[in-house]
Amino acid sequence: MAVLLSDLRPVYVVGIGLHRFQRATDTSFVDLGLTAVRAALDDAGVPWPEVETAYTGSTRLGMAVSRPLLRHLGVTGIAMTQVENASASGSSAFRLAVRDVAAGFADVAMAIGVDKAAPGLRAETLTGISPLDEGLTTPPVHFALLAEEYLRSRGAGAEDMARVALKNHNNAADNPFAHRQQRRTLEEILADRPIAGALTRLECCPVGEGAAAVVVVSEEGMRRLGIDPARAVRVLSSAQQSEQLYGTRSYDAELTGATTQQALTEAGVSVTDVDIVELHDAFAIEELQYLETMGICAEGAAPSCLRDGEFAIGGRVAVSPSGGLLAMGHPIGPTGVGQIAEITRQLRGEAGVRQQPDARLGLAHLVGLGAVCVVHVLAAPA
SS3 for 121-138, per residue? CCHHHHCCCCCCCCCCCC
Q: Could you give the C-alpha distances from 243 to 14, 89, 130, 256, 258, in angstroms and in order? A: 32, 16, 21, 9, 9
Q: Check for a shared fold between 5-119+207-233 and 138-176+236-379.
A: yes
Reduced to 3 states (helix: H, G, I; strand: E, B; else coil), residue 200 is strand
Distance CA 28, CA 14 (A): 27
Phi, psi of 201 (to 5 degrees): -55, -40
pLDDT, mean over the chain: 95
343 pLDDT band, cuts 50/70/90, is very high
The DSSP bridge pattern shows strands 79-83 and 276-278 to be: unpaired
Phi, psi of 377 (to 5 degrees): -120, 130
In sequence order, the β-bridge partners of residue 83 are 57
Phi, psi of 318 (to 5 degrees): -80, 115
pLDDT in tens, 202-223: 999 999 999 999 999 999 999 9
The total number of residues shown for the chain amounts to 382
Q: Are 327 and 283 in contact (CB under 8 A)?
A: no
- For residue 247, the model assigns a pLDDT of 78
Domain edges within the chain: 5-119+207-233, 138-176+236-379
The DSSP bridge pattern shows strands 233-242 and 318-319 to be: unpaired
Q: What is the DSSP string of 282-324?
A: SBHHHHHHHHHHHTSS-TT-HHHHHHTTTTSTTSSSEE-TT-H
CATH superfamily placement of domain 138-176+236-379: Thiolase/Chalcone synthase (3.40.47.10)
Question: Which pTM was predicted?
Answer: 0.96
> Which H helix or E strand runs over 345?
helix 335-348
Say yes or no to pLDDT of 285 above 70. yes
List of residues 6+ apart from 168 with CB closer than 8 A = 281, 287, 320, 323, 324, 326, 327, 328
What percentage of the chain exceeds 90 in pLDDT?
A: 89
Within the chain, strands assigned E span 11-22, 53-57, 79-83, 108-115, 194-196, 199-200, 209-218, 233-242, 276-278, 318-319, 361-368, 372-379
Of 3.40.50.300, 3.30.930.10, 3.30.420.40, 3.40.47.10, which CATH number belongs to 5-119+207-233?
3.40.47.10
Q: Are 209 and 118 in contact (CB under 8 A)?
A: no
135 pLDDT band, cuts 50/70/90, is low
Reduced to 3 states (helix: H, G, I; strand: E, B; else coil), residue 356 is coil
251 pLDDT band, cuts 50/70/90, is confident
First to last CA, the chain: 30
pLDDT in tens, 23-41: 999 999 999 999 999 999 9
Distance CA 111, CA 53 (A): 9
Reduced to 3 states (helix: H, G, I; strand: E, B; else coil), residue 280 is coil
How large is the average pLDDT for residues 62-90? 96
| CA dihedral of 93, 244, 2, 333, whole degrees rounded to 10 | 0
Q: Could you give the C-alpha distances from 348 to 13, 89, 304, in angstroms and in order? A: 11, 25, 30
- For residue 120, the model assigns a pLDDT of 81
Reduced to 3 states (helix: H, G, I; strand: E, B; else coil), residue 358 is coil
Say yes or no to pLDDT of 94 above 80. yes
Q: Which of 315, 314, 253, 250 lies closest to 279 in space, CA to CA? A: 253
